[in-house]
Amino acid sequence: MSLIVCAGIGVAGGVLSGLMGVGGGIILIPLMVIFLKMTQHQAQGVSLAVITLSFFSMLVYYKKGYVDIPTAVFIGIGFVIGGFIGAHIASVMPSDILKKCFAVFIIIVGLRMLIFK
């Protein structure tokens, strides 16, 4: 594992996450799988560990008045519950199937954003 490659992946994920509000995982996971040769499971685990650090990016938005705390709390509660369930399901899926599911999800989200308002 190259520290320079890891830092580059982190910077790319951080910039795009802060700039566009996309989940860092949409950027981080493919980059870790491609450049760090991680399995889908490993990349998702690292991405989830990194997401806790997005707190600092959120502070910039909060200071500008763009964070609705009650909404964030309720979504956060759902996120914790859903993440727990999703992690258990993903942990028993074969990595190649999980990678394909992830790719299909990204394609669907991308198409939806292009086609619908």
The model's confidence at residue 14, banded by pLDDT at 50, 70 and 90, is: confident
With beta carbons less than 8 A apart as the criterion, state whether 13 and 50 touch: yes
Mean per-residue pLDDT, 71-97: 91
Number of domains in the chain: 1
What is the total residue count of the chain? 117
User: Which residue is listed with tokens 């802060």?
Assistant: 18
User: Which residue is listed with tokens 């320079």?
Assistant: 4
Identity at 2, one-letter amino acid code: S
pLDDT of 113 above 90:
no
pLDDT of residue 32: 92
With beta carbons less than 8 A apart as the criterion, state whether 54 and 64 touch: no
- Distance, CA of 100 to CA of 117 (rounded, Å): 27
User: Which residue is listed with tokens 């996971």?
Assistant: 29
Question: CA geometry: angle at 110 spanning 66 and 12, to 5°?
Answer: 65
Residue 55 domain boundaries: 3-115
34-50 pLDDT, tens digit per residue, is 999 999 999 999 988 88
